[in-house]
Structure formats: C-alpha cells, structure tokens
Structure 1
C-alpha cells in the first residue's frame, strides 16, 4: 500500500540528520488533548484518560525511520545529481511523493535542468506511524471518497490500555481529530499474572483454545519457531507446568464469553484456560436446557403473537419474568457503560441460577400431559418467553450457540427476523415487574433450601416427607399453593405437606426455622438415633440463644433509639423475632423427640 506521508502532513514530517525521518509532535499534541477536554473523544476507564494526558503533555519529537525487514517503505527519494557528490545527510537533496513519478516531478521542479537519478530510502515507517494512518488510509485518503465521508471519523475503538499512546494518540494526531469513544480493555496475562512471552511458553493462541491442542503439539509449535534452543527448553517446561494435559477444546463462544466476563475497568486479566473450559460446560448446559425445554413445549407449540402476559401466570411465572426483566435492565445498562463483566454476570446468573436451576425444574409437574391444561399452557408461554429473550440477551457474548438454538424455536407472528442478529434486543417491560412475586418466591426458595439442608444433614436420600409449619394464614396459603413445586426442587422428596397454623407437627421430625413465619420439619423417625438428634438440636438452640442475647445486649445500650438509625433498628427487631421463632421451633422439636423416645 502506498503511504502518502506528505500530502496532508508535509509540514510536520521532515528529514533530520538522514537517514532518520521525524515528526514534530508538539503542535499535534494539543488538539488531541483538546478533543478529550471538549468531549469529542471519550476514553474509558478514567484511569486511561489520565494516561492520555500524561503522555501527550510530555511528548517529544517522533523518529519514524526504522531499519526493519518488513513495513511500509518510506516514500522519500534521494536526488543524486549527475557530476555532483551529493550529501545524503542533507535534507536539501531529498524529495517525497506518492510514488516515484510524483517524486521525479518534484525533483525536476527543485533542480530544473539537472540530470539526476532517484534512490528510494531503504528504511520503513515506524509500525505505529503506519497503524496511525489506518482509520483514513483504508478509506481512500487523501481523496475525498464516499467511504471517507460515510465512515470517518470513526465512532468506537476497542483497544488495550498499553497502546493508548503508541497507537490511539498517534491516530488522533495524524487524523487531527477523531470523534467517538476509546474503550481500553485489560491486559491479558497468563493464569499466574505473567505477561505472555514466547520464551516463557505461556502464549495462548486463541485457535488452540477454540479447537484444543495436546501438550506434544504445543511443544512442536515451539520447535517450529525461531526461538533460541535454550529458550525452547525453558518454554517447554512452562507449557508442561501450565498445560500438563494440553488445552481442551473449548469453542469460540466459550472463549468469547470468558474474555468479556474478565473485562472490567482493571488493567490485567489473568487468563485461566480452566475458566474457559467452565464456560464451555455452560454452553453444554445451555444447549441441554433449551433442548429439554423444547420437549416440554412440544412439536405443535405455537407461541402468542406478541410478547406479554396472558393473565393467568402463576407465582413461579411472575417471578421468572421479573428476573428476566432484571437481567434485561442490567445487561442494557452494563452494555451502555461498556461494563462487559457486569453484562455477562447478569445474563449468566439468569440462565444458570434462575431459569435452569429453578424455573425449568419447578414447572416439571405442571408441564406433564396430566396437568391442568390452562396452567400447562401458561407455564409453556412463560418458558418460551424466557428462552426467546434469554437467547437474545446472551447473543452478543455467545453468537454461535444462541443463533443455532434460536433457529430451533417456534416463531411468534410478530417476529419477522430470520436471524437472531437482526431481532430486537430485549428491554425491560413494565408488565413483567413484580417485586411482590420476587418477595413471595424468595420465601418459597428459603423453604426449599431449609428442607435440602435437613435432608443433607440427616443423610436421607429418598422418600423424604417434609412438613411446612406456618404461623400465619398468608404463609400457609403460599406454602399450600407451592407445595408441588417445592417437592420437585427437594431432591429425594416424596411428599410436602403444608400444615395449618394451629396444627401440631407429627412426632419424630427434625426442624429448621426459616423465619418467624415458617419452620420446616423433616420426618426422621426410624432413620436416626434420637439421643444424638436431641444433642444436635440442643447445640443449635444454644448457638441461636447466644446470638440472640448478643444482639439483645446491643439494643439495650443507652440512647439506642437516638444513636442507631431507624432501618438498623428495624433489622435488629426482625432478627430478634426470627431468633425467638427458631428457638421455639427447636424446643418443640426436642419435645417431640422426647415424646417419641418415651413411646418407644
């Protein structure tokens, strides 16, 4: 490619003490700094903006001559006049031009009537000078092409903080101005935090992560390179330590998601291939969950024409749609701020912890052919909405697997896009917002977690019977309505019964208090040593009583009401109420075990 270094910048590029060519940078630095000051150029994060000014305020003249094998050859020509012993170190006998023909015209004008030959400078341009010309040189500059008018100045540049001055500042200076934003991502290092180096053997080729590679083939790559034999030995040791089993095949989506998940306002990323492999497993879970969900939808499922509520959504449906809304809001906000770590965390949490681990499992009893048709249809519609919108949220980070799965979904009548790339990106919807559903379902999940904890503590692997003991009518109604779903989420559970507030808990149950409204009991009669269980409960009660007394002492200090904020006093009151409920439930459990022991 011809690099016309003089057409628009001849006043700043000049030969000094040939063979070196220089750029006078003092006059260019101020406009580049002013572009940031007046908001035409935005640099994220703020720490990188400080680097920008630190470099430009102390800028020196820039030598752009390089004696390298590869590069753009400097379009400067030495005019060797016949019969004269020209001095090549003098700038008087040098001309520049797009090509030799233009340089000859300038030489003829400079030395009229003289016979001469032209000798092009063997030096090449500094790499950063060539790179600095890139935004406009590729668009036809210096001609005013349609591409120049349409695409220049650029709007967004994503780059590493370490080359902010070497590349970005030079682009801004050479282009005089550049509007838009510059996002500086972190420096990618190895898992130990070392800068990647061929001699250390810790350079990770993205292709090797995508396709996988054995340790032997990694070693072979070193031997095929141009490293010194002693460095090859050192690098092999490094590879053997970092990748003893080679690099597993992770795929493009997993690598892309990993790099986005790492990227924050920090400067360093310690890239661990095991984490990439973890996101590969997430891709597999995504695939399996979507395929399983499609089975629950059925081959004849046709979704509603428009996205929205049907009016008969259950608590679980309202909860998952609320979680979808939160994910959409968080992802959009994070992308607007270029906070890719927050964006990936939001969509990952929705898919893994909300949709896969909870909702898909929770609705299994509802989506069977024997279930109520209306409830089944409503659950399917909500499941489809979560799949459709969830894949779109994930698409920027995992484009290939999401496109493949989206193509397998049935289409709404309102969806005209043939590819997920062109489909509308999800945004928060007011109708999905439901803090009340989130609050109620959080209680349901607290019941599930308490029951799971009891099942694990008592090593009960099957046919577990769980009793939910509420103290209020509202808690009883919630537990009774969600009993089937709770039973589904408790592994090895055969029955969940919601007791009336006035009902007694059957003898032989272990207990775990959820809060002052709900306690969870697990039938362990005939499966455990009663004396040992009483001792366990007594330990729990002693621990709860000590925590209660310690908190109670804090509330009895002088001027407690004036010195402690109202919200903290309210939290302390709730904690004390929960401690009282827990201790009471544990006392009842001991009493039932003693009764059971006496009957035995």
Structure 2
C-alpha cells in the first residue's frame, strides 16, 4: 500500500545541486556575553543612544541597570524610626558557599525579587537582606575532597588552623561567584547589609542562643548513641541520614574500604553462644551485623519463655574474648515468638540494645574506631575495616563450629547524606537540644488552627515528624563552623566540670564564681566541636532582621 508523504518514514531523495550552507555550531554560547564590554560607566544611568540589536542579547539589555539601581539607593531599606511607611522585610535564604548557584536558586530569588519590587512600588519600606551560609559539613567535605584530589592530603595532615585557612580561601572564591550571579540576575538586595553566617554579629547571636538554651536546660551534654559517619569522623543528626531499602542479599561498596571490594547487606546470620560450664548447651542468636558481636555484653530472653527458664541466672561465653555474657530477662525488647526468642545485646552499637543495656546496667563496649576500623579490644580482628571484619567474624565462627545458618533479610540501611558512608550507631559524648516541648508547641499550633499548612494534606508529614521527635544532636566533630561556647575546667589540676559562656572571659568569671577560687587555680579548655550548620541557619532570620 502507499503512504501519504506526511506519514512516510523515508526522506525524499535530495535534488543534485550546490549544498546548502550548514548552520554554524556555537562552541561556547557564553563567550560573547563574557567578553562584552559595558560602555556605561559604573553606577551611571544607561545611555539609550545605541541602536537596538536585531535579536535579543540579554547581556547588552541587562548591562548597567543593576549598578545604577544600587548606586541610586533603590534597594536600601530605611532604618529611620520616623519613617512611617509600612514595612516589608525578608532575608535571602543564604546559599551555601560550596559552588555556584543553580536553576533552583534562580527560581526562588525570582519570586523573592518580584515580592520585593512589588512592595516598593506599593510604597512599602522594603528590605531584602543578602547573605551566604558557611554550610559546615557540606563545605568541609568539598574542601577535603579537593585537598585529597589535588595534593593527596587530609585535613589531619594540615592541622586545624591551616585547614580552616584553606576553607576561608575557598569561601572567598565562591562567595564572590555567588554574589556576582545574584547581581547579574538583577536581585534587588540591599548589599550594604550583606551578612555571612560566620560573621561577628551572627557568631554573637549563636553564642547567645546556645548560652540561653543551656541556662534554660534545653541544651545538655550526654553520652548517647549517635549517628556516626566514619568518613567524616563526626556525628550527624537524624535528618542528615538517608535510608535505602534492601529487599534481599545485596553487595554494596563502602567508603573507606578497598575500592575493588563490595560487602553483603540484606542478610541475617545465626550463630551460637555456648553456656558457661557446658560443652553441649547453647543459645542461638541472629544478627544483620556480625561484626558488632565483638561488643556483645549479654543475651536477652523473655522472662515467660519456657525454653530458657532453666537458664535464668546463667552466663554464656564469648568465643573470641572469653567475656561472660549474662542471660537477662527483658519483656520490652524480646518477642519470644520471633526466631529463637534469644537476642544478642550490643549496648554501644544499637539503639534498642542501648536502651536495654541502660535498664539492666550492662557494660557499653565500643568496638569501632572513629574512622571505622575495629578497635584494639576486637581481639584477632583489631585494625581491620569494620566490614572486612564482618567477613572474617563469620569465617571464624564457622571454623569454631558456631555458625548456624543465614537467610535473606529485608532491611533499611542508613547512609550519610554527605559521604554515602554506612552510618554506624556509636556511643559518643555530644551536645543535644531537648526538642520535646518545642515540637509539641509546633504540632499543637497546627492542631488548634494557629498555624495553617497549605496544602493541608502535608499536615500528616508535620505531625509524623513532630509527634515522633527525638532530641537533636547539635555537635559536630568538624573544624569548620561555630565552635561550641563550652569550657571544660580543671581546678588545681583536677577536672571540675564545665561552664558555658559567650566568651572565654565570661567563662573564667563564671568558673571563679562557681568554685570560689582565684584565676591562677583554674585551667579552661574550650570544646573542640562545632555546631550543626542548622543551629546558625535556624537563627538566621532573627540574627539578620
């Protein structure tokens, strides 16, 4: 059958003759704009004498206007108390100094610029404050990768002061790029009020907030299980953990481990602990993390489980270190209908085990180093990377005849949002914000109609977060950020607690008053940690407006 020319997938034969000139490809579309020289002197009104181009050339049309608007003060908000105009004030959500702005920034600043210009046109005293965010983890990770790539150095090779100096250099470069982009976009920002989340006024507001929250009992220091990123060698908050769902046995590459190796996740392994004083009697436990068994300090069963009634009060023997593991009775943790009804307890590396350990007064034994190796107390596995140890622990259990099988196991695996490292629950002294009361206030505000969330279907997300809030870990074992204003005391050479103060001088005065001693008797050491970026970012509207 025949096809209409429109439907035919074949091209008609081209008539012979001279070839049509091909359109010239533009290799660098931005070259012309970059090389354009603006004829209008900086800050002066643009001349309209030049003939208009046939096509639209944004770089020519937009040139000079932003400089003139800024020079004329059109962007400046008035602080005059006698200015009776209605006020409209917003702060630019500060972009991270980790690179260039992207299309998402262009979208949001266009909306903010529209609102600012519209309010000026309506006669409002309008202020739109520019600023950038130091972006603690994000910036430090970028600079660490840059150092490793270009100089094969780590931050620890440089030391704290030199490394932070490198970050300030990086910040200066990318801050200049970001502000240039904002100006090129024509953002009507009051540049006379530009801020940075680590400038002096912002630092003062962070310290003041920390001291106030500490004095009110909202901030406290405690040794608790932390989301630990071995690549960063730092704790991170719950919101910085990404989760992946693993349906079955899956091999995954892990940062910090050999690049040519992958490791098994999505499997549950079973092994036996032998009863102390018996060759034959044993209890079988199961785990998705065999390497953590090196930190086991007990085996738990349900108090009503008839299978283990005769073992109440007895101990089991750890095969690698000889540690005696008591059989504990815990109806909160153990479901006797699941598996063997016996659960290994690793208080230092699992949230549920940690809670059980605190209920029963169990030792908390950390078996990993900060960078993800097995610690010295890991016996024959000491010094191995943690997932290499996983493999070797199972090999050794098989050799000892204690292996009891394995099967696929659906699981959620936590990964660091910055480094993609597998999160390790670790017991660490950290600073925490008690979120219970403030989360309840925020949830109740929506429930009682004081706050409206649009669209309303997102209310359930609001409640899911706030009704299940956990305390916020705000300390980071990093070098770039606001250093925590806490000082540890030694009185006549002996540890004497801590004081929290905005400055070292205030800390010293508080310590002298607290202990009734002379300055010469005290030694103060400031906490090495820095605050989570969001501590300062959350204060940003208050510290700027």
Please state which structure has a larger fraction of its residues in helix. 1
The structure whose RCO (Cα within 8 Å, separation 6+) is larger is 2
Q: Provide TM-score, normalisation by structure 2.
A: 0.23
Structure 1 or 2, whichever has the larger Rg, is 1
User: Which structure is higher in strand share?
Assistant: 2
